[in-house]
Chains A and B, each alone.
Chain A
Amino acid sequence: MEVKSKNGKGIYRFNGVDVLILLALIAAAAAVVLVLGLVSGNGNDQSVKVEYVVEISPVRDEFLGKIRVGDTLIDSAGKYNIGVVKSVESVPYTEELLDSGTGEVVAAPYPEHSTLRVTVTANATKNGGYYSIGGFRIAAGTRVYSRFPDFLGEGYCISFRVIDG
């Protein structure tokens, strides 16, 4: 495209560099949309309330009590806000060992360490056969890099259920 001035001379020509600039802008805008999660899906999203349990272990006993009911859980890998703590349970951390006396495998308590089971509630969307919370896909078995305001730890989602929706 060429815009001409009154005297007929070209003063503006749309060239390859302009195309590149526009493509770069479109790419940047698309990236912003993706990063900010402005696209919520294809319109078939189903909003539901879910409850899931994240198991974090082993946790040193000196760290117990750092997760509180009402804390926000963030997946520290992707910075997704993935729910609010409903309850926290700690049980002794065990490892399976062979008892050489009986020949049986036993769950042996590991001194000064616990397993934390954190129940979390969140609003999720179902789309394409899976659930996601704010863009974070979750199901039983999903690894969760758990970030609470006063605690950091790695765990797995060990149970997942829809409670409303």
Chain B
Amino acid sequence: MANHEKKAGRLRFGILDVAIGLAVLACLCGVVLRYGIGGSLGGNDKLSDAKISFLVLDKNRDSVDGLTEGTEFYLKSDGSRIGTLDAGLSIMDAEVFFQDIDGTIEKTQSSDGHVDVRGTLSVSGRYNSGEGFFLNGRTFMATGGKVEVYTETCDFTLIVTGITLLTQ
């Protein structure tokens, strides 16, 4: 009998157990909010295929040699995969703006081997008209946004020039 009472006392559920339970729940809620798991639990996690067109300004021509169809792009901020480079990369002499003698600004092309690059990435993401496009359901992207990325052979900042949804 004494042994039984001792065991019962040991299993008693106290106020601190409640507090610890609440703390654990709060941690779980934090994780759900941080990673947007709530959306996926609600069935909103369906990602669409999309194309992100981009512009990279003023790179050394040799530094973009490694950009070929199928090159994987990653976000520098968290190392997550963005998508793969499509065929049809356009590499042109970099645009240069200079002041003319009469005080106007003119546009011309670089002649010192610097280039601008335009291309398209195949990506996945979630879009709704009120919020915009979230790469992989998490990272907001929109036209005009500057994104630091890397590939196996190159680091650069790309400017998003457009986002096209392929599937809904």
Contact = CB atoms under 8 A, between A and B. Distances in A.
B3 interface: no
A94 B153 CA distance: 37
A76 interface: yes
B101 A100 contact: yes
Contacts of B38: none
Nearest to B14: A12
Nearest to A79: B140
Interface stretch (B66-74, B78-86, B125-133): B125-133
Interface residues of A, number: 40
Interface residues of B, number: 36
Given A11-B9, A25-B19, A149-B129, A66 B143 contact: yes
Interface of A: 5-7, 11-12, 18, 21-22, 24-25, 28-29, 32, 59-60, 62-63, 66, 72, 76, 95, 97-102, 106, 108-112, 147-153
Given A7-B5, A76-B140, A151-B143, 16 more contacts: A25-B19, A25-B22, A29-B26, A62-B161, A72-B130, A98-B103, A100-B101, A101-B103, A108-B103, A111-B107, A148-B142, A149-B129, A149-B131, A150-B133, A152-B145, A152-B160
Interface of B: 5, 9-10, 12, 14, 16, 19-20, 22-23, 26, 97, 99, 101-107, 129-133, 140-146, 159-161, 163
